[in-house]
Amino acid sequence: MFKKKKIREDFDEIFKSGDQKRIKQMLEENPWLLEEVSEEIDEEMEDEEEIIAAIGVMEDELGKPVSIDDILFCLKSDFDIKQSEENIKKMLENIEKLNLIEKKKDGWRLKAEGEKICDNFLNKHLGELNL
């Protein structure tokens, strides 16, 4: 048990450094790490998918780029999700780096891949949402 904890800590440091060769080597030596990392990424992506879906819903409703206030409103009213503005800003930066949204003068707009993710998310969660 202690050995896994140490390996996890070492991997986190290597992952943060961005050393692709060492990351690959650690994953090959410890295949269980890949499953753990995948689960963490899936959890993070779920939050980002919610943001993407909120942008898509509000963009359709308003017909223009979406502000942070619009995103917060949609998350709360349609998805029953509370997020801080600070957290939304961080996720928007990450989503923008993935080239799924683009920042406009007055808000954010989905790009083609972001639209696909939005549609998939909404289809997958349709029965759960208050749209």
Q: Residue 38 has what pLDDT?
A: 67
* Pairwise CA distance, residues 41 & 46, whole Å: 9
Report the C-alpha gap between 5 and 28 in whole angstroms: 17
pLDDT recorded at residue 44: 66
pLDDT at 36: 76
Please tell me the distance from the alpha carbon of residue 56 to that of residue 93, in angstroms, as a whole number.
16
Give residue for tokens 């890949």: 34
Any residues with CB less than 8 A from the CB of 79 and at least 6 apart, and which? 50, 53, 54, 129, 130
From CA 81, how far away is CA 75, in angstroms rounded? Answer: 5
Tell me how many domains the chain contains: 1
Residue with tokens 């502000």: 67
Residue ranges, the chain, pLDDT below 50: none
Query: What's the CATH code of the domain at 88?
Result: 1.10.10.10
**Residue 73: is it exposed, middle or buried by C-beta count within 10 angstroms (0-12/13-18/19+)?**
middle
At residue 3, the pLDDT reads 84
Total Cβ atoms within 10 A of residue 100: 23
Give residue 87's pLDDT. Answer: 92
The predicted pLDDT at position 106 comes to 93
Q: Quote the domain boundaries for residue 117.
A: 2-128
| Tokens found for residue 3 | 């050995």
